[in-house]
Amino acid sequence: MSSTFERLEDVLLDDLFPDVDLDLRRGRHIGQDDGPVYDFLLDAQEHLEHLYRRFGAELVQRTDGYFFLLPTNDRLGRRLLSAGEMLVGQTMALLYLDPSTLQHNRTITRELLLQRLSSLVGTEVLIRTLNPRKRKYDERVAAKTVRKEVDKAIRRLVDLGFTQPVEDDRLQLRPALMRFAETVRGADGSTDALERLIASGEIEDGERHDEHEDDEEVEA
């Protein structure tokens, strides 16, 4: 496909570039729903791939219709999603695949999300995962904490472009959610896919994540 941009300089001088660049560096996933921004990326892809490679990141495009920046080293800064974000993101991905959400133009309520999450993971596991340091808990307080953590995760997933709040407190599910299903998507088994994705740096397993989680908390 021929690009309308002849040189990298033309891309950098485009009005859309600063916002696109900042969004990508902050970890945002840019999808077809973003309209002109997505079209710009599609057009400037070849030039930007080279540019970001020099910063230690890959500009990845997925067939589901979205772009994101994958860090290959720490030059641009990297972050791992938290446990809450992972659980909420995976549940959203499942709802994205569910035909019942089609009826509402791929939007869901927070209540439905919580219900589905709770039924899939189980209340006990959900509370333990989202309150890892609490050995004893009061049911009411724990439920409140879970709701708070889920809200926090949703806010973060909104920032990253996985979902978008729309009217009536509903959430629009975006194609980038399919990243959460990458491990079970291919023809190879989920273990092979997991290893492949770990090798490419797209995901990290639990042990490595603990270190980062601690780092984050220190920073906070």
Partner 1 sequence: MTSTSTPEAPTLIASLSRDRVSLELNTYDLCCLAGLYLRADKQALVCFAEEELVDLFEQICEVVEPGAENPRKRATHAIQRLRDQRMLHRVDGAGLTRAGDFGISRLAAAVVEFYLTDEQLTRESLALLTRTLASQLVDIRKAAEQAETDDAWHDQVASPLQVTVGDLVAGIERRQRGLDAAQEEVQSRITELLQEDWFGAIARSEDLLDQTTSTLNELNQVLMSDVHQLTSLLQEIQSLADTAEQEGSQDATQRVQENLDRITSWGRARQATWSEFYQNVHRYLRDVVRLDPDRALSQRLRDQITGWSQQPFYLTTTAAPSIRRLRPVEHRVERPPVTRPSGPRESEPEDVDAEDRRRILEALVLEALAAGENKLSAVTAHVLAQLPAERAFGTTGRIAAIVADLTQPRAAREPAWVRVAGQLEIEQWTLEHDREGRG
- Contact residues for partner 1, defined by CB under 8 A: 24-27, 57, 63-65, 68-71, 76-83, 86-87, 89-91, 93-94, 97-100, 102-103, 105-106, 120-121, 125, 128-129, 160, 175, 179-181, 183-185, 190, 194, 198, 201-206, 209
**Spatial CB neighbours of 192, under 8 Å, sequence gap ≥ 6:** 186
| Rounded least distance, CB 167 to partner 1, Å | 12
Residue of 17, 33, 34 lying closest to 25 (CA atoms):
17
Complex with partner 1: residue 3 or 72, whichever CB lies closer: 72
| Rounded least distance, CB 190 to partner 1, Å | 7
Measured CA to CA in angstroms, residue 195 lies from 99, 176, 203 at distances of: 30, 21, 9
Complex with partner 1: residue 40 or 180, whichever CB lies closer: 180
Complex with partner 1: residue 65 or 165, whichever CB lies closer: 65
Q: Tokens 């209540």 correspond to what residue? A: 111
∠ CA(51), CA(65), CA(34), 5° rounding?
Answer: 80
| Rounded least distance, CB 141 to partner 1, Å | 21
What is the C-alpha end-to-end distance of the chain, expressed in Å? 45
What residues form DSSP beta bridges with 166?
170
What residues form DSSP beta bridges with 172?
107, 164
Amino acid at residue number 108:
I
Complex with partner 1: residue 110 or 209, whichever CB lies closer: 209
Structure-token pair, residue 150:
């889920």
Structure-token pair, residue 38:
């997505």
Complex with partner 1: residue 11 or 93, whichever CB lies closer: 93
| Rounded least distance, CB 63 to partner 1, Å | 8
Structure-token pair, residue 220:
């906070």
| Rounded least distance, CB 32 to partner 1, Å | 8
Q: How far apart are CA 113 and CA 96, in angstroms?
A: 11
Question: Reduced to 3 states, what is the DSSP secondary structure of residue 27?
Answer: coil
Complex with partner 1: residue 120 or 141, whichever CB lies closer: 120
